[in-house]
Amino acid sequence: MLVTGAAAGIGLACARRFLTEGARVAMVDRDPERLSGARDSLAASERAFVIALDVSDAAAVREGVGEATRRMGGIDGIVNNAAVDLLRPFAEVSASDWNGVMAVNLVGAMEVCRAALDPLAASGRGAIVNVASAAGLRPVPGRVAYCASKAALIMATRALALELAERGIRANAVCPGAVDTGLFRASLGDAITVEDVKARYAQRRIGDAEEIAAAVAFLLSDEASFITGSALAVDGGRAFH
Ligand SMILES: NC(=O)c1ccc[n+]([C@@H]2O[C@H](COP(=O)([O-])OP(=O)(O)OC[C@H]3O[C@@H](n4cnc5c(N)ncnc54)[C@H](O)[C@@H]3O)[C@@H](O)[C@H]2O)c1
């Protein structure tokens, strides 16, 4: 398995879950120190390989995916989880802000997929899960670039699923609702509290990273062998109301 954004939050929960299931895991993140610390915090860390790179650097992605393939002896699953948020009124979102968000959240994820095509196909059970967002299914205020990047990631996942089926590779998206991570905490402030966010959810709570990792693990597993091109909301009922 290869997981991007694996130094914290949902990516780290995915890495932990795959290691528990006995997999070898390439943990990719742009923050080398936090990445090493995260790896060392895991049980079975001898099966976890850290690869520090920024997913918006296409050359580094090609090299890193090659290294992950060599160290793990192949790749049968990819989790594109690394992303950046941008909470800013639309009037202040510059072209460079747009490019920065899309470069990581959309193009970065696609470059990881592209670099891993051959090992995924060679595995005979290759699967991709792109971590999108409930914000890619319905809009949230102050996040126009983030919402658009996640909606684009969902459609790119569906288009990929169509194109990669003939190589035996499945591609799905998960769309988390609010999950208590650094990214989520950074979006709170005086104007919006955790209680305000909880009130928007049918289940009146936010999620745990482990709940997202469980959905990711299912979509990567052979249990999901007839599921491709789906966008699974894992959001306590937020997307439907
Ligand atoms: N937390 C939420 O409420 C929530 C809700 C919906 C979707 N998501 C999505 O879940 C995913 C994980 O989010 P999280 O909340 O765990 O975030 P997080 O900020 O806790 O962790 C993200 C990790 O990604 C890494 N990262 C960021 N940009 C990178 C890059 N360019 N290259 C390599 N690594 C990079 C960071 O260093 C960090 O370790 C993201 O795709 C996010 O959009 C999160």
Which residues are bridge partners to 138 per DSSP? none
154 within a domain of the structure (yes/no): yes
pLDDT at residue 239, rounded to an integer: 85
Tell me what pLDDT residue 231 has: 98
Give the pLDDT of residue 147. Answer: 98
Residue 240 in domain:
no
The domain tally of the chain equals 1
- Share above pLDDT 90 across residues of the chain, in percent, rounded to a whole number: 94
Domain limits at 26? 2-232
Query: Mean of the pLDDT values across residues 215-233?
Result: 98
For residue 187, name the pLDDT band (cuts at 50, 70, 90): confident
**Which atom, in ligand 1's list, is nearest to the CA of 146?**
43
The pTM for the full model equals: 0.98
Q: Is residue 237 part of a domain?
A: no
Residue 239 located in a structural domain:
no
pLDDT at 31 over 90: yes
User: Largest Cα–Cα distance of the chain, in whole Å?
Assistant: 51
Which residue has a Cα nearest atom 30 of ligand 1? 54
Confirm or reject: Cβ of 176 under 6 Å from ligand 1: yes
Segment 109-156, tens digit of pLDDT: 999 999 999 999 999 999 999 999 999 999 999 999 999 999 999 999
Confidence of residue 81 (pLDDT cuts 50, 70, 90): very high
Q: Is the pLDDT of residue 227 over 90?
A: yes
Q: Tell me, yes or no, whether 109 lies in a domain.
A: yes
Q: Is residue 241 part of a domain?
A: no
Residue 116 lies in a domain: yes
User: What stretches of the chain adopt beta strand conformation (E)?
Assistant: 2-4, 25-29, 48-52, 77-80, 127-131, 170-176, 231-234
201 is catalytic: no
CB 60 within 8 A of CB 83: no
* pLDDT of 62 higher than 80: yes
Asked if residue 219 has its Cβ within 6 Å of ligand 1, the reply is no
Whether residue 192 has pLDDT greater than 90: no
- The tens digit of pLDDT for each residue in 147-157 reads 999 999 999 99
